[in-house]
Amino acid sequence: MTKLIMRCLLVAAVGIISACSSDNNNNQNTGTGGVVTPPPIQTKLFNVEFTNLTNAQPLSPVALVLHTEGQLWQLNQASSDALELLAEAGDNSAILAEDFVQDSVSGEGVVMPGVTRALAIEAPTSGDAYLSLATMLVNTNDAFTGFTRMDVSNMATNESVTLSIAAYDSGTEANSEAAGSIPGPADGGEGYNSVRDDVDFVARHPGVVTADDGLTTSVLNESHRFDNPVIRVTVLRIR
Amino acid sequence: MKIPKIILAASLAVAPVLTNAQQLDITITNLTQGIYFTPFIVAGHDANTRIFQVGQAASTELQALAEGGDISGVSAMLTGAGAVVSENPAGGLLAPAGSTSLTIDTGTQEYLSLSSMLLPTNDAFAGIDSWKIPSTPGVYWINVNAYDAGTEANDEIVNGGGMPGVPGIPAAPGMDAGTNATGVTTTETNQTVHIHRGNLGDDDLTGGKSDVDNRVHRWLNPVIRVRVEVLDQTL
């Protein structure tokens, strides 16, 4: 229960209106004589705050995961199917369910341009601990941003790290910007498609062209363009 | 952190009188090929004072800086908050590839910020928001991004409009912009301070949507590089 209460307090403290999650109920071990033993040693607790720095690229619900091995992507390597789903459709469910993920949190809803949100996630008190975060720029074919395999095992309480992060391209869908190919509000088109008709490796995103800049078949306009960085993230260990 | 220094100074027969001084030698370099920067404002300030914050609406003082290059309001705000301020080190515009230097004694102030408008743009500015001044002497490099103040639609019409709330771009100092543009947009989607998406521009210098030249007035971040040398105050 301690964990749950702490998460609720944290969520309140950072101004997020949400119900407290109940996905981490501690088992209350029953000791000898029916006496309830105290909860186990507290975990480390991290607050991850992120701001959408773009002009007109809403961000899909953020995936924030804790893991002790693996990573969500590698530059110049083919995207995982889970990352493809996030980068093409804004669907974080497969990333949250990755085999190597120990704990996961999903942001509540889309993060609009200029908006700051925060999520809390726990880690064991010892041993390896990596954080990864991913979210789609939804007015694109397959642009995403975030970080993966941030080592937080040696962060001290009250220590924080702030990152300004670029946009990446999952390389799984051609950047056609064509009608019907972009899931965000600029188009309302298709999200995920298992066909990989692009370079099939993860790289920095080259940016969108848009119809205003000469790609006549693009459903995007000049407002959707972006330069890096596209998000700012601060990871703070609060316990 | 200051107490040990003072004790150390007192123990040295020829030690200079130590005040709460922190001298920074700063060089600002324009990394772009076609963008001019209006007079910079550089300040040492406390944790409660900000020229800008991403994701927050610009102050009216920042709006005047970002739309017209007027640093007087930001300067007054900073001075009122007890900041140490240095204005206009370049003595005017900082041209492409240009550099300018200044020395500032930030005293006991813990943070460094600076800002300047990009021309020709509607309301783009480059800025550092609250860089923690290191206590360790040495040379530090900061890459600075271009932000959109979010206060004016990026219509890209060069019409002299530099007052807050007045549409248009005040000037293209390179005298290489077009005329008679109809305007790129009348709306500003993100009205908080955010990373600037860049000029759109076009290649029609006597009409088109934009007076900005899409072959010249472009940039990618970072747009400024700042060298900060934190001097050793014990020498």
* Interface touch B197/A54, C-beta < 8 Å: yes
On whether any CB of chain A is under 8 Å from the CB of B146, the answer is yes
Domain A2-16+43-237 homologous superfamily, CATH: F-spondin domain (2.60.40.2130)
pLDDT range class, residue B124, cuts 50, 70, 90: very high
Which strands sit side by side in the sheet containing B99-105, from one edge to the other? B99-105, B23-30, B224-230, B138-144
Highest mean predicted confidence (pLDDT) among A7-21, B1-15, B84-98, B221-235: B84-98
Q: Which of B148, B190, B221 sits opposite A228 (nearest CB)?
A: B221
Cα–Cα distance for residue pair B158/B206, rounded to 1 Å? 12
Q: What is the ipTM of this complex?
A: 0.88
Mean pLDDT of A135-150: 98
Question: In chain A, which residue's Cα lies nearest the Cα of B187?
Answer: A223
Selected for mutation to probe chain B from A139, A208, A227 (highest B CB count within 10 Å) is A227
**Residue B219 to chain A, least CA–CA distance (Å):** 9
Of B137, B139, B138, B79, nearest in space to B109 by CA? B79
pLDDT tens, position by position, A55-105: 999 999 999 999 999 999 999 999 999 999 999 999 999 999 999 999 999
pLDDT given at position B19 = 57
pLDDT tens, position by position, B59-68: 999 999 999 9
* Interface touch A225/B195, C-beta < 8 Å: no
Amino acid letter at B49?
T
Q: Which residues of B touch A205 (CB under 8 A)?
A: none
**Cα–Cα distance list, B127 to A63, A128, B58, B142, B196 (Å):** 30, 37, 13, 11, 12
On whether any CB of chain B is under 8 Å from the CB of A225, the answer is yes
Overall size of chain B counted in residues: 235
pLDDT tens, position by position, A159-199: 999 999 999 999 999 999 999 999 999 999 999 999 999 99
Grouping H, G, I as helix, E, B as strand and the rest as coil, residue B4 is: helix
Average pLDDT, chain A: 88
* Interface touch B198/A225, C-beta < 8 Å: yes
On whether any CB of chain A is under 8 Å from the CB of B208, the answer is no
Cα–Cα distance for residue pair B73/B41, rounded to 1 Å? 11
pLDDT at A128 over 90: yes
Overall size of chain A counted in residues: 239
On whether any CB of chain B is under 8 Å from the CB of A228, the answer is yes
Measured in whole angstroms, the distance separating CA A22 from the mean position of its chain's CA atoms is 20
Cα–Cα distance for residue pair B133/A22, rounded to 1 Å? 43
DSSP assignment string, chain A = -HHHHHHHHHHHHTT---PPP-TTPPP--B-GGGPBPPP-PPPEEEEEEEEE--SS--BPPPEEEEESS--S--BTSPPPHHHHHHHHH---HHHHT-TTEEEEEE-SS-B-TT-EEEEEEEE-SSS--EEEEEEEBSSSSSEEEEEEEEE-TTPPTT-EEEEEE-EEE-SSS----BTTS--STTT------S---S--SBEE------GGGT-TTBS--GGG---S--EEEEEEE--
Is the separation of the CB atoms in A138 and A184 below 8 Å? yes
Q: Which residues of A touch B197 (CB under 8 A)?
A: 54-55, 222-223, 225-227
Is the separation of the CB atoms in A61 and A106 below 8 Å? yes
On whether any CB of chain B is under 8 Å from the CB of A118, the answer is no
Q: Which domains does chain B have, with CATH numbers?
A: 22-230 (2.60.40.2130)
* Interface touch B200/A212, C-beta < 8 Å: yes
